[in-house]
Amino acid sequence: MTIFENVKKNFGFGCMRLPMKNGEVDLGEFSRMVDLFLENGFNYFDTAHGYLDGKSETAIRECLTKRYPRESYILTDKLTSSYFKKQEEIRPFFEQQLEACGVDYFDFYLMHSQTADNFAYFKKSTEEVCSIIQDTVDAVRICRMNIA
């Protein structure tokens, strides 16, 4: 048994770059892409707040999570250090991400863009990150936490 046992076909849909129209995500085109991806047996989606200035997360909500049952896909989001200055800002940021994506939990939640400097920054916030991880795992709001 692996942590990726529910990921079908070992291929994910990264939502860093999506079809755009007049500066906004083309929701019609993205919906067609999501439909085709799922129809072909894939189920892993990856986003982050920094992708398209948050538009990736809201596009996920509109084109995936509002349209498909939660058990039909695996969703990953990320904690990026540029979105918090203090430990106390992490939990509200996480809650905003859940709301933006339209879900109650993430299957995977990654500490994003790891470099030596970034890791040191995350390490300073370890207490809050661990608290969020424990609270959210206990409440089944994050199924897996990893580093990206």
Comparing CA positions, the residue from 56, 89, 88, 90 lying closest to residue 75 is: 56
Q: What is the dihedral of CA 34, 74, 10, 80, to 10 degrees?
A: 100
What pLDDT score was predicted for residue 148? 44
Contact 100, 70 (CB under 8 A): no
What pLDDT score was predicted for residue 147? 46
**1 confidence band (pLDDT: 50, 70, 90):** very low
- The CATH H-level (homologous superfamily) assignment of domain 12-147 is NADP-dependent oxidoreductase domain (3.20.20.100)
**53 half-sphere exposure, CB direction, 13 A CA radius:** 4
Distance from chain centroid for Cα 26: 19
Mean pLDDT of 69-86: 83
Which tokens hold the place of 67?
């349209």
Comparing CA positions, the residue from 94, 115, 41, 101 lying closest to residue 65 is: 101
- Is residue 81's pLDDT more than 80? no
Mean pLDDT of 15-33: 97
pLDDT tens digits for range 28-64: 999 999 999 999 999 999 999 989 999 999 999 999 9
What pLDDT score was predicted for residue 93? 86
Position 148: which residue type?
Answer: A
Q: Model-level pTM?
A: 0.79
What pLDDT score was predicted for residue 30? 98
Tokens 């997360």 found at: 57
- Is residue 143's pLDDT more than 70? no
CB contact burial 58-83 (16+ within 10 A = b; e otherwise) = bbbbebbbeeeeeeebbbbbbbbbeb
Residue 108 to residue 116: CA distance in whole angstroms: 22
**10 confidence band (pLDDT: 50, 70, 90):** confident
Q: From the CB of residue 109, how many other CB atoms can be counted at a distance below 10 Å?
A: 27
Comparing CA positions, the residue from 73, 30, 79 lying closest to residue 55 is: 30
pLDDT tens digits for range 85-140: 677 777 888 899 999 999 999 888 877 555 556 566 556 555 556 666 566 555 54
